[in-house]
C-alpha cells in the first residue's frame, strides 16, 4: 500500500535553482525542497523551470522514497524492478536457447 502524504507532515521550501539555463535559473526560486518531518527524508526537485511542475514531481519523488522506506521489497518501485529483472532473465534464456539450437544445427550440417 502506497503511503499517503499529509500536508502537516511535509515542510516545503523554495530555493534558487542551479545549472544550465542562463541567468534566469539563478534568479528564480523554482527549486522545491520537501522534508518529511516524521522520517527526516529530504527531496530536492529542479527538473523543470516551473515551480508548480517541480512541486508535483517533488511530491511524487517523496512518496516513492517513503514507499521504499516503509514497504521495502513490497514497494511499487521494487516490484517494478523485480518484474523487469524477470523479463530480462527470460529474454536471456530465450536467446541462449536459440544460440544453442543454432550451434547444434551447424554441427549437424557441417557448416562453419
pLDDT in tens, 19-78: 777 777 778 888 999 999 999 999 999 998 889 999 999 999 999 999 998 888 888 889
Number of domains in the chain: 2
Whole-angstrom distance, CA of residue 112 vs CA of residue 107: 8
110 Rama class: left (phi>0) / alpha (psi -120 to 50) / beta: left
Tell me what pLDDT residue 76 has.
86
Do 18 and 41 belong to one domain? yes
* Domain hosting residue 103, numbered range: 76-112
Tell me what pLDDT residue 82 has.
92
Contacts of 93 (CB under 8 A, 6+ apart): none
- Looking at residue 5, which CATH number applies to its domain? 3.30.160.20
Do 55 and 85 belong to one domain? no
Amino acid at each position: 500500500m502506497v503511503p499517503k502524504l499529509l500536508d502537516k507532515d511535509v515542510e516545503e521550501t523554495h530555493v534558487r535553482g542551479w545549472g544550465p539555463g542562463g541567468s534566469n535559473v539563478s534568479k528564480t526560486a523554482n527549486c522545491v525542497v520537501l522534508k518529511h518531518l516524521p522520517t527526516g527524508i529530504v527531496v530536492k526537485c529542479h527538473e523543470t523551470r516551473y515551480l508548480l511542475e517541480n512541486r508535483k514531481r517533488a511530491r511524487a519523488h517523496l512518496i516513492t522514497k517513503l514507499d521504499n522506506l516503509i514497504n521495502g521489497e513490497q514497494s511499487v518501485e521494487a516490484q517494478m524492478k523485480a518484474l523487469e529483472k524477470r523479463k530480462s532473465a527470460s529474454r536471456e534464456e530465450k536467446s541462449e536457447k536459440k544460440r544453442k539450437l543454432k550451434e547444434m544445427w551447424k554441427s549437424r550440417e557441417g557448416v562453419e
